[in-house]
A = this chain, B = another copy of it.
Amino acid sequence: MPLADRRPLRIALLGCGVVGTEVARVLTSDAEEFARRIGAPVELVGIAVRRAGRRRDLDVPEELFTTDAMGLVTRGDVDVVIEVIGGIEPARELILAALEHGASVVTANKALLAEDGETLYEAAAKAERDLYYEAAVAGAIPIVRPLRESLAGDRVTRVLGIVNGTTNFILDAMSTTGAGFADALDEAQRLGYAEADPTADVEGFDAAAKAAILAGLAFHTRVTISDVHREGITEVTAADVRSAEEIGSVVKLLAICELDAEGAVSARVHPAMIPTSHPLASVRGAYNAVFVESEGAGQLMFYGPGAGGAPTASAVLGDVVTVAQHRLAGISGVGESAHASLEIVPIGRARTRYHVAIDVDDRPGVLSAVAQAFAAHDVSIKTVRQEGHGGDAQLVVVTHEAEDAALSATVADVRELDMVRGVSSVMRVEGVS
């Protein structure tokens, strides 16, 4: 049977903003190639938006647009629903309704998956439909499929990700130009790399959502954004960036998901110093990368653009091809699994290393007093060096791995020491083996 005569695969698009516009553009302009790849013609049956009359830079028939998203997903003849509205509601109820009405779903919605992925995964399993979400983590970079499938026969032990382009752009600019956070943020906003309200990015909320999704995939365990310890980059100073350089490191905002020695999961987002020799250190500008360590494969890294309309649409459309092929074959892919149900440890119990710059009086005994404060909490010091003299004297300490709670208690005690004038920089150190 010629391709064109086969029953078309019907697609509904929810949302036509940055990502949705690109999805609609490629689906319509490249329809023939999609038909060949999927094995049937594709038909875009409707596009749900909030504002109906808005001018859109898109060459599709006006009558496809609707503000009745719920009507679109429940009309009953839709094979695949693409959700690129974002946010929790109405995205959640639309996805659930789509699955109930027999559609498979592709979504880019990290916020929703990190908040309540479980409800969606269960609904998909119950409906025997696919729920795919490659675009939800690190945009165009294939990372969900590799974790879910390629590494399914291995044991992942750690995931370190640069998963937010805005903060990576800002930190990179701080490191290149020596600027402080505020100036680098201004520059990022001017160039369109940061939004007018940059909170979700710079406070680490976006990265934390991705960390939750990555930890769940890597460790076969239910992890939500509330399980993720989160610190943003607003407190990172030009001095921190310089301190990092002095120990041959750079500052990155990392999403960290790791198994501790007891087999429990730590999921956290915070700025950290990593050695310039680490593959993540050379991830510049707004690029993203995810570094994965596993027992069998060793060290893997996945690198690429983490956002943007076209890159994100590429990830969405890859999922669309897969779920479309599944629909035509009458099958659904294998769903999520939280079979391991590992414990999730609070940040205090996570094992990390600290870099601490301490402004001190330049007199005998200061090093021993500081060293004693570390020892009192069983935190062992890896290196310590003195910088400057007199009023500029500074001790720079890098610790061995210890529980985060012990490290932060140590810093609190150090601040109280007589000969200490202040602690000018505290930052975790990652990516050291």
Interface 1/0s, chain A 272-300, versus B by CB < 8 A? 00000001001000000000001111111
Cβ contact within 8 Å between B318 and A152: yes
Closest-by-CB residue of B relative to A300 is B304
Interface 1/0s, chain A 148-190, versus B by CB < 8 A? 0111111100000000000000000000000000000000000
| Known contacts A282-B282, A296-B317; is-contact A149 B36 (Cβ 8 Å) | no
The residues in A between 315 and 350 inclusive whose CB is less than 8 angstroms from any CB of B are 315-322, 325, 329, 331, 334, 337, 339-340
Complex Cα distance, B33 from A155, in Å, reads 10
| Known contacts A152-B322, A153-B34, A331-B329; is-contact A311 B339 (Cβ 8 Å) | no
Which of A37, A154, A319, A322 has the most chain B CB within a 10 Å cutoff? A154
Cβ contact within 8 Å between B145 and A149: yes
| Known contacts A331-B331, A334-B329; is-contact A153 B318 (Cβ 8 Å) | yes
| Known contacts A140-B296, A304-B300, A311-B296; is-contact A325 B318 (Cβ 8 Å) | no
Cβ contact within 8 Å between A301 and B303: yes
Interface 1/0s, chain A 338-377, versus B by CB < 8 A? 0110000000000000000000000000000000000000
Answer yes or no: A146 CB below 8 A from chain B CBs. yes
Cβ contact within 8 Å between A298 and B303: no
Closest-by-CB residue of B relative to A329 is B331
Complex Cα distance, B334 from A322, in Å, reads 8
Cβ contact within 8 Å between A153 and B321: yes
Cβ contact within 8 Å between B37 and A322: no
Complex Cα distance, B317 from A149, in Å, reads 10
Answer yes or no: A22 CB below 8 A from chain B CBs. yes
What copy number does this chain have within its complex?
2
| Known contacts A142-B142, A142-B146, A303-B279; is-contact A297 B325 (Cβ 8 Å) | no
Cβ contact within 8 Å between B141 and A300: yes
Complex Cα distance, B33 from A146, in Å, reads 18
Question: Shortest distance in angstroms between A21's beta carbon and chain B's nearest beta carbon?
Answer: 13
Complex Cα distance, B153 from A311, in Å, reads 11
Chain B residues in 8 Å Cβ range of A321: 149, 152-153
| Known contacts A321-B149, A321-B153; is-contact A37 B337 (Cβ 8 Å) | yes
Contact of A317 among B37, B153, B320, B322 (CB under 8 A): B153
Complex Cα distance, B34 from A154, in Å, reads 9
| Known contacts A37-B152, A149-B322, A322-B152; is-contact A315 B297 (Cβ 8 Å) | yes
Complex Cα distance, B279 from A322, in Å, reads 29
Answer yes or no: A104 CB below 8 A from chain B CBs. no
Closest-by-CB residue of B relative to A140 is B297
Chain B residues in 8 Å Cβ range of A33: 155
Answer yes or no: A26 CB below 8 A from chain B CBs. yes
Cβ contact within 8 Å between B301 and A297: no
Contact of A334 among B34, B296, B325 (CB under 8 A): B325
Chain B residues in 8 Å Cβ range of A299: 304-305
Question: Shortest distance in angstroms between A42's beta carbon and chain B's nearest beta carbon?
Answer: 10
Contact of A300 among B145, B153, B220, B303 (CB under 8 A): B303
Residues on A close to B: CB < 8 A? Answer: 22, 26, 30, 33-34, 36-37, 134, 140-142, 145-146, 149-155, 220, 279, 282, 294-305, 308, 310-311, 313-322, 325, 329, 331, 334, 337, 339-340
Q: Given A37-B337, A140-B296, A140-B298, 16 other A-B contacts at CB below 8 A?
A: A140-B300, A142-B146, A145-B150, A146-B146, A149-B322, A151-B318, A152-B317, A152-B321, A153-B321, A279-B282, A294-B314, A295-B310, A295-B314, A296-B310, A300-B304, A301-B301
Pick 23 A–B contacts, CB within 8 A, sort by A: A26-B153, A30-B155, A33-B155, A34-B153, A36-B337, A37-B339, A140-B296, A141-B297, A142-B142, A145-B146, A149-B318, A150-B315, A154-B314, A294-B314, A297-B304, A297-B305, A297-B310, A298-B304, A298-B308, A299-B304, A299-B305, A301-B304, A303-B303
